[in-house]
Amino acid sequence: MGRKKKKQMKPWCWYCNRDFDDEKILIQHQKAKHFKCHICHKKLYTGPGLAIHCMQVHKETIDGVPNAIPGRTDIELEIYGMEGIPEKDMEERRRVLEQKNQETQKRKLNPDDSDEDDDDDEPGSSFQQPVARPPQAGFVPPMTQPGLLPVRGAPVIPPAGYSGIPPMIPGVPPMMPGLHHGVPGMPPGMMPVGGMMPPMMPGMPAVIHPPVSHRPGITHMPQVPAVNVLSRPAVPAVITSSAQPDIAKPLFPSAGQSQQTVSGSPHTPPSTTSDPPKPTFPAYTKSSAGVASPNADTSTVSKPPSTVTSKAATLTTTSATSKLIHPDEDLSLEELRAQLPRYQCNVRQNTPAAPSVAPVNAVLPPQQLSLGNPIPGIPSILCQFSGPPRGLPGYLPGQMLPFVQAHAVIPGFQGAPSRPPMGVRPPVMSPGGRY
């Protein structure tokens, strides 16, 4: 990476705190995300420019810069690329970046230490570094790049944890204690190896490592060429290359390289992180923090206490900018729904008997409709009953029976303690219909 002397190491966007490789890309990003008219999609050059355009052309006023983090939405500040950024914000940014750098090093060296802010490396850290590095390495990149990391002190994006990263910790335990020690106040921004994003709220105890579980899989994958490459681009997925000494760059090492490391090492340390979403994915934005974070909770297995809406309760709000219309639970919609008593399977079938197979032969239509409906779960079939198969290859001979309505339980099975009858219709039903 280039010269240290540059304004801030790497160009970054004042509106959303993202990092970029190049000022040109930064400008393109600003034009597309922050200076784009929401009405006609024209891209302007600056915030005030956008405001003026909306007023003159559409006769509309806008109250803030689109897609900006809270605190950075000032429409009157004329910022273009890195120019125009208020000095104090620059300093703040510099400070934060430094701190992050320190943190990683500190952490390595002195887990008990809780200070930050020091410019010098602790003495004695050096020997530890090489060792520690690799595992930490993964954290470094996010730090320097973060883009999304709100930086402590700076207006923080109310991340509420972040989305999508289940606290899979299996591979990480060793890190954790270290991390915590070092960082009492530090938003575990370091943690997210996942590369994602926003610092976790203190409430998020741990780092998440999404792919941890995947790692094993990956290490054995012989397929090479694209293995990791694939995951990369897509985004902030965690890359599972294993420990490489300092990775500090946004991009993942080439596939080949990572491949090797991957296969070479039996895994462990968190590995490199992926970089935060990059400008190359225009559609993929963090859109002001809000989006992703919302459901950090839903994805995590151990739900942090913070959002807790009553079970199945609707919306999980997150930031002021967006909310996910999905119950705040880690389960899929179908799993939640299937928990309801009305959808419990009336299984007679599982019962005893057997293994299986209950060929069902219901025949159809209309009548069944009316019958079956009111109470789902009832319907039929399935019961094992006897009857000559009728030519069906079938596994259990003797099970098929043309029938309508089922429930009829055939003697023999009835005896079987019908299991908690799921409250349903008395088996007898079957009037007619049985042929």
Partner 1 sequence: MSLFGTASSFGTGGTGVFGTTTTDSHNPMKDVEVTSPPDDSISCLAFSPPTMPGNFLIAGSWANDVRCWEVQDNGQTVPKAQQMHTGPVLDVCWSDDGSKVFTASCDKTAKMWDLNSNQAMQIAQHDGPIKAIHWIKAPNYSCVMTGSWDKTLKFWDTRSPTPMMSLQMPERCYCADVVYPMAVVATAERGLIVYQLENQPSEFRRIDSPLKHQHRCVAIFKDKQNKPTGFALGSIEGRVAIHYINPPNPAKDNFTFKCHRSNGTNTTTPQDIYAVNAIAFHPVHGTLATVGSDGRFSFWDKDARTKLKTSEQLDQPITACCFNHNGNIFAYASSYDWSKGHEYYNPQKKNYIFLRNAAEELKPRNKK
Residue 26: its H or E element: helix 23-29
Stretch that binds partner 1, among 48-56, 146-154, 330-338, 427-435 (CB under 8 A): 330-338
Total residues at interface with partner 1 (CB under 8 A): 123
Near partner 1 by CB under 8 A: residue from 202, 352, 372, 398 = 372
Q: Is residue 61 a contact residue for partner 1 (CB under 8 A)?
A: no
Nearest distance in Å: CB 188, partner 1: 17
How far apart, in whole angstroms, are the C-alpha atoms of residue 94 and residue 154? 11
How far apart, in whole angstroms, are the C-alpha atoms of residue 187 and residue 202? 6
Nearest distance in Å: CB 419, partner 1: 12
Near partner 1 by CB under 8 A: residue from 56, 185, 283, 432 = 283
Nearer to partner 1, 28 or 344 (CB): 344
Nearer to partner 1, 308 or 392 (CB): 392
Q: Is residue 40 a contact residue for partner 1 (CB under 8 A)?
A: no
Nearer to partner 1, 90 or 315 (CB): 315
Angle between helices 227-234 and 255-264 (to 10 degrees): 120
Degrees to nearest 5, angle at CA 29 with 280 and 317: 90
Near partner 1 by CB under 8 A: residue from 72, 380, 413, 433 = 380
How far apart, in whole angstroms, are the C-alpha atoms of residue 195 and residue 379? 49
How far apart, in whole angstroms, are the C-alpha atoms of residue 399 and residue 166? 45
Q: For residue 80, list its beta bridge partners.
A: 83
Stretch that binds partner 1, among 9-17, 42-50, 318-326, 425-433 (CB under 8 A): 318-326
Token digits of residue 404: 């309508």
Stretch that binds partner 1, among 23-31, 116-124, 137-145, 328-336 (CB under 8 A): 328-336
Q: Is residue 427 a contact residue for partner 1 (CB under 8 A)?
A: no
* CA atoms within 13 A of residue 238's CA, in its CB half-sphere: 33
Do 361 and 391 meet the contact criterion of CB atoms below 8 Å apart? no
> Strand, helix or coil at 233?
helix
Near partner 1 by CB under 8 A: residue from 144, 244, 307, 346 = 346
Nearer to partner 1, 131 or 331 (CB): 331
Token digits of residue 432: 């007619």
Residue 337: its H or E element: helix 333-338
The three-state (H, E, C) secondary structure of 44-95, written as one string: CCCHHHHHHHHHHHHCCCCCCCCCCCCCCCCCCCCCECCECCCHHHHHHHHH
Nearer to partner 1, 109 or 360 (CB): 360
User: Which positions from 191 to 230 touch partner 1 by CB under 8 A, shown as an x/- string?
Assistant: -----x-------------xx-xx--xx--x-x-xxx-xx
Q: Which of 208, 192, 204 is nearest to 276 (CA)?
A: 192
Near partner 1 by CB under 8 A: residue from 392, 397, 419, 428 = 392
Q: Is residue 308 a contact residue for partner 1 (CB under 8 A)?
A: no
Nearer to partner 1, 182 or 210 (CB): 210
Residues in the chain: 435
Q: Is residue 337 a contact residue for partner 1 (CB under 8 A)?
A: yes
The three-state (H, E, C) secondary structure of 272-288, written as one string: CCCCCCCCCCCCCCCCC
Nearest distance in Å: CB 137, partner 1: 18
Nearest distance in Å: CB 29, partner 1: 15
Q: Is residue 378 a contact residue for partner 1 (CB under 8 A)?
A: yes
**Binding to partner 1 (CB under 8 A): which residues in 113-172?**
162-166, 168
Q: Is residue 57 a contact residue for partner 1 (CB under 8 A)?
A: no
Near partner 1 by CB under 8 A: residue from 67, 104, 110, 258 = 67
How far apart, in whole angstroms, are the C-alpha atoms of residue 14 and residue 9? 14
